[in-house]
Structure formats: C-alpha cells, structure tokens
Amino acid sequence: MSSMGDNTKSADVSISVESVDDQSSSIPPPKIATTATEPPLSKKSRVDPRTDPYGYLGLVRNPDGSDTRKSNDDPKTPISSYNGSPTLLVKDITVNESKNTWARVFLPKEAINSSPAGRKFPLLIYIHGGGFVICNVATPLFDKLYRIFTPEIPVMLVSIEYRRAPEHRLPAAYEDCLEDLHWIKNSKDEWFTKYADFSNTFLMGSSAGGNIAYFIGLRASVSPGDLKPLNIKGVILNQPFFGGVKRTRSELRNANDKVLPTPLSDLMWELALPVGSNRDHEFCNPILNYKKGQFNHIKALGWKILVTGYYGDPLFDRQVELVKMLEENGLPVLSKFDAGGYHGIDTAEWPNAKALSKVVKYFVESNIATLTV
C-alpha cells in the first residue's frame, strides 16, 4: 500500500510505503494535530445518535413504517458570508430546478488578478457527506474545506448537490451527481469557460460523498467520451462510507462512536438502500460484490486514486480493505491513514482540514498536465 510518509518535495506531505492493518502498533504516528478523539454532539440537533438516531436525523417513523422529515430547513452557510473574502469568489448556480439540485462554485480570487491573463485552475468536483440522509452543499460543516482548498491548492471547487434519502433512495444520488457532471461540462457560465481547466478534473467526496464518488467514477469510466471536455485525472475518497452485514473489528471497536455509532450507521443504510436490501447490497459493500474486470476502464484511463482515513473511524477497516482491492486490481492508489481521529474529523477540525488540503494538493499537483494559460 502506497501511503503518505517522509520524503517528497513538501516538508509537510510525503510518500512512503507502509503496511496499515487493524493493530494500533502498526499505525504510523499522526502527522497532524487531532484536537479531540471524539467531537461534541451535533450543534443542530443536540440529540445523541447513539440513543436516538431518528431524532438525530430529524426523522419520524410513522405507524405504517414510512418516514417523515421534520423539516427541510437545514442550516446553511449564507453566500453573503463570503463577501469581502481576500481569497475567494463564490456563486450559487441551479443545476436542475425540478430536483432542487444546485452547486456552489468557488474560485480563487487570484483568478481575476492572474498574470498572464486567462490562467485556468484544476477543477475539483466535491461531493458532500451526510449518510445520504442529511446535509447539503451549504452545510456549515463543509465550509472549512471550501475556504482552505480553493486558494491553497489552488483549484476551482464545485460542490454539487444530490437528492437525499429516504425520499430518494440510492441510486438517486449517483444519478444526480452524474447529471451534475454533465451540467458542468455543458455550462456556459463565464467562470467555467474562462477559469476552469477541464483537462485536469478531479472527483472528491467525503463520507457518503466518497461512496458516491467511487460509484459515479465507475460509471463515468465506461463512457469517458460522454463527459468531454471533462478529463478526470483522479478520484479522492475521504473517509468513504461503506458497510456490510458482518461487523468489522473497527466497527465493533467503535460501536459507540459519537459521530457514527452503529445504530446511526445502520439506520442510514436502511433509509438509503433500495427497499428490501441489506448492507451487503453492492451500493454498501462493494468488496463483497466485486466483479472481475470492473476496474478495467479506470485502469485503461490511467486515473489515480487517493484514499484517506483514521484508525478511530468505525469505517477504518472497510477503507483499508477497499485500498487492498483496488491495488490487487492494478490501480495506482495513494493512501493516508492516521492514528486517532474520528469519522468526519477532516471537515470538523480546522487543523485536520488544513492537513488534508496539503495531501490533496500533493495528489493534484502530481497528476495534472501542464496547466492552460
């Protein structure tokens, strides 16, 4: 497994070869400050997901077995909060009004002051998490990544929306995000035509967004010409959300995790998977459902994969197994697994978001063609 270590051009980000398994003694020492081993409960709900996962998700189970969302008025970072930013330009654009899908687009402010004029930036398409059930493009939790990644990598970052479960079960989120990609490639918006380097496109997702990035990457790789001029160079899976019926050691070890305890994780899958499916469905357990040759298109296209995670995440074992499966199929995978942490720490903690930006910056710079100027 190729993982982040100690010998590259960056003093903070480097590559080495290490083995990461389920023994804490074999986990490399953390490279970043982890300010907490467990985060506080959600400020939105103040409900403990370990004892009331329905309440945490803002759902009510009806007598007939259906579910009702208490409110669609989720917390959002107002676009006005970016006014006066010294590093960012931001705009919101509707993608599909009938589905209520949209995108928040972030551009480094240096784009309008670049010399020579017309500099283009790699395109980072970001897919947010939330267990397929909660959160949206403007959820404050993801704001750190937007504010850090856009100017510091730098990239043009497009955070895309998708419909949520249980109202819209999988594969709705996959279909919506693929539609978002086609919307981007066809957009006549000046920011895309003037500042986005479509030849250097990267897909990135956190948690459930990592799951979505994995599956839409598989789908997009079959007919890459359909997305032209978008040319995907890499896929970044940040603590991707996968599961299975049989518990892993990391799931058992972290069953009472304050962010993703077993009752919450199981409920999210129950709400998101097709009706009647269990956690061994292919959308949840891609390792169990592996089919020979399914990565041939990605391999032929030369896409690179980055997987990041933490030992303290209940999903740690599944992320490590995913890396092994990809490597066994000949895909070039870079992985970074740190000690400690918890699920979602990279979006919750500023130091970790900063550290992740350095990893992603290294990955992007290592895999881009010469930027268009």
95: Cα separation from own chain's centroid: 20
182: annotated active-site residue: no
Catalytic residue (one of 159, 199, 207, 221): 207
207: annotated active-site residue: yes
Helix, strand or coil for residue 236?
strand
Neighbours of 29 (CB within 10 A): 7
Q: What is the pLDDT of residue 45?
A: 52
Catalytic residue (one of 128, 159, 221, 343): 343
- Give yes or no for a cis peptide into 29 (omega within 30° of 0): no
Q: What is the pLDDT of residue 208?
A: 99
- Return d(Cα 2, Cα 18) in angstroms, integer: 7
Summarize pLDDT for 109-119 with one digit per residue, the tens: 999 876 566 78
- Return d(Cα 222, Cα 30) in angstroms, integer: 37
H or E element at residue 177: helix 172-186
Neighbours of 138 (CB within 10 A): 21
Dig out the tokens for 219 from the structure: 């789908």
DSSP string computed for 57-101:
HTEEE-TTS-EEES-S------GGGGTT-SSEEEEEEEEETTTTE
Give 67's Cβ-side CA count (13 Å radius): 21
91: Cα separation from own chain's centroid: 21
DSSP string computed for 19-35:
---S-GGGSPPPSS--S
Closest CA to 164 of 181, 182, 146, 176: 176
Q: What is the pLDDT of residue 10?
A: 30
Give the pLDDT means over successive 10-residue stretches in the chain (373 positions). Answer: 44 32 32 40 68 95 92 88 95 98 97 76 98 97 97 98 98 99 98 97 99 99 97 98 98 94 98 98 98 96 98 98 97 97 96 98 89 41
- Return d(Cα 175, Cα 82) in angstroms, integer: 30
332 contacts: CB under 8 Å, gap ≥ 6: 2, 304, 305
> Contact at 8 Å (CB) between 350 and 291?
no
- Return d(Cα 278, Cα 275) in angstroms, integer: 9
Q: What is the pLDDT of residue 71?
A: 84
Beta-strand relationship, 196-206 and 156-160 = unpaired
The CATH number of the structural domain formed by 2-367 is 3.40.50.1820
List helix spans (H) across 223-344. Answer: 249-253, 262-272, 296-301, 316-328
- Return d(Cα 350, Cα 159) in angstroms, integer: 19
Catalytic residue (one of 176, 197, 313, 346): 313
Helix, strand or coil for residue 295?
coil
Q: What is the pLDDT of residue 3?
A: 62
343: annotated active-site residue: yes
What pTM value is reported for the model? Answer: 0.89
